[in-house]
Amino acid sequence: MKQHGPAQIIHFGEDDKKGYTLITLLTTSNIAAHFSEELDAAFIDCFSCKHYEPATVEKVAREFFLPKDCERLVLYRGEGVNYPLIC
């Protein structure tokens, strides 16, 4: 997978509903992430028509974010795959 242009990272919200949203385009689809300050949680969606190992995404997220808990959900669609990861 190759990134197509720079990632967009925006901090927004009001009161206790603030957080960051990230989106980066890939030549094969995108990665979107939402970081909730209120919940102290990250929700990461790695969507690609090109196959990749979901365990690799989880490993990188665990090493970078050091979450207390991490749950992986794998959804397959057609010939491509969609792997959201929730930490």
- The pLDDT confidence band at residue 73, using thresholds 50, 70 and 90, is confident
pLDDT of residue 76: 72
Q: Is residue 41 part of a domain?
A: yes
17 to 7, 13, 14, 65: CA distances (angstroms) = 22, 5, 5, 20
pLDDT of residue 78: 60
**pLDDT for res 16:** 86
pLDDT of residue 85: 54
pLDDT for 80: 53
Predicted confidence at residue 21, as pLDDT, reads: 97
Total domains in the fold of the chain: 1
- Residue 35's domain comprises 8-86
3-state secondary structure of 62: helix
Q: Is the pLDDT of residue 48 over 80?
A: yes
Q: Is 3 part of any domain? A: no
